[in-house]
C-alpha cells in the first residue's frame, strides 16, 4: 500500500528536520565557522536553495539548534527546583551534549562580533532566564522562604555558574571538584541559611527546593 502523500506543510517540516540533523553533524565535524551552507545541504540530501527556503542564514540555522537545546533543557528540568535533576542535566551537558555546548561557546564568540547574531542569541537566553526566574519566585513563595536576591538576578547567577563550570571542566576535567556545580547552586539558593555562623540548614520539603 503506497504511503499517503505529505501535505506541503508536512513536507516542509520534514525538510527542516532533516536539515537540522545534518547541520548538527556538519557543525560538530567542522565547527560553526568552518561549516558551509553547501556542506549542510549536501549532508541532508538537498540543494542549497532548500536551506535558504527554511532558514535566512547559516547563523539562523545554528540558532534553531540552540532553540531545540533550550527547549529540551526546559523540559528535562521541569517546573520545580530539583537539584538531582539539575545534576543529571549538567552531567549530560558534559557528555552527551558536550559537542553542541562547545559549538554554542564558539557561537557566543561569533555573536560578540556580529550585532545581528548577538541580539538574536540574547533574546533566547533572556527568555530562558525569565522562565527560571518565574520558577524560582513561585517555589520560594510556596516554601515560605525568602529569595537571597531578586529572582532574575538569581537566574543570571545560576546560569553563569553552569556556563563557567562547563568551560572550566572541559579545559581541566580532573581539576574541578566533584559536585562543585551543585554545591555552588546551594550556596546561591540558600545563601542566608548557609551563612557562616548559622547552624540552620535548609531541609528537604514537598516543594522540591532541596
For the chain, which domains are there? 8-55 (1.10.10.60), 58-210 (1.10.357)
How far apart are alpha carbons 181 and 28 in whole angstroms? 26
pLDDT (tens, 9 = 90+) of the chain, 210 residues, equals: 455 666 777 788 899 999 999 999 999 999 999 999 999 999 999 999 999 999 999 999 999 999 998 888 877 777 778 888 889 888 888 888 889 899 999 999 999 999 999 999 999 999 999 999 999 999 899 989 899 999 999 999 999 999 999 999 999 989 989 889 999 999 999 876 555 444 344 443 433 444
User: What's the CA gap between 98 and 96, in Å, rounded?
Assistant: 6
Alpha carbon dihedral 178, 181, 182, 187, in 10-degree steps, equals 120
Which candidate, 156, 152, 143, 128, places its Cα nearest to that of 190? 143
Short-list 203, 51, 69, 174, CA closest to 128: 69
Amino acid at each position: 500500500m503506497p504511503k499517503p502523500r505529505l501535505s506541503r506543510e508536512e513536507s516542509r517540516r520534514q525538510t527542516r528536520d532533516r536539515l537540522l540533523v545534518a547541520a548538527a553533524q556538519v557543525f560538530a565535524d567542522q565547527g560553526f565557522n568552518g561549516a558551509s551552507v553547501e556542506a549542510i545541504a549536501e549532508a541532508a540530501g538537498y540543494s542549497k536553495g532548500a536551506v535558504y527556503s527554511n532558514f535566512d542564514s547559516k547563523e539562523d540555522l545554528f540558532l534553531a539548534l540552540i532553540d531545540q537545546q533550550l527547549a529540551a533543557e526546559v523540559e528535562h528540568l521541569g517546573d520545580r527546583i530539583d537539584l538531582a535533576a539539575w545534576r543529571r542535566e549538567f552531567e549530560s551537558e558534559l557528555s552527551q551534549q558536550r559537542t553542541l555546548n562547545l559549538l554554542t561557546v564558539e557561537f557566543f564568540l561569533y555573536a560578540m562580533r556580529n550585532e545581528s547574531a548577538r541580539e538574536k542569541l540574547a533574546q533566547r537566553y533572556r527568555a530562558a532566564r525569565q522562565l527560571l526566574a518565574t520558577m524560582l519566585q513561585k517555589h520560594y513563595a510556596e516554601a515560605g522562604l525568602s529569595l537571597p536576591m531578586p529572582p532574575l538576578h538569581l537566574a543570571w547567577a545560576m546560569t553563569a555558574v553552569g556556563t563557567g563550570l562547563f568551560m572550566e571542566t572541559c579545559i581541566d576535567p580532573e581539576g574541578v571538584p566533584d559536585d562543585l556545580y551543585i554545591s555552588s547552586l546551594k550556596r546561591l539558593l540558600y545563601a542566608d541559611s548557609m551563612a557562616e555562623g548559622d547552624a540552620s540548614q535548609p531541609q528537604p520539603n514537598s516543594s522540591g527546593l532541596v
